Structure 1
C-alpha cells in the first residue's frame, strides 16, 4: 500500500523507521512495528494516535486493518 492511499482515522499496520529521540544532536532512528489509527500524513512522516511518527522512506510498509 502507498502512503497516498492512507485515509486519516483508519487503522493500519505500520512497519518501518521512527525518530526515537535524539543522540549527539541528531535524530535517533529505530525500527518499529504497530497497528494503530493514523492521525496525520506529511511529506516526511506518517503519525499514529499513539504519537509514533514513521518516516516515509524505503523501509515503510503499510497494511490496512
Structure 2
C-alpha cells in the first residue's frame, strides 16, 4: 500500500480524539498538546511496526 492511500475512518478519528481528550484531562494539558505528543512519539520514539507485528500475531 502506498503512503497516503489509506486514511483513518471517521469512527477511528472520533475514538482517538475521545481517548486523547480523556488522557489530556488526566494530566492537565490540552487535547491539542496531547495530540502533538502522540504524533511525535509515533514518528520518532516508538517502533510502531514492531508493536503492530507483535500484536497482529495474537
- Shared topology, TM-score over 0.5? no
Structure number with the higher helix fraction is: 2
Higher-RCO chain (CA-CA 8 Å, sequence separation at least 6): 1
TM-score by length of 2: 0.22
TM-score by length of 1: 0.21
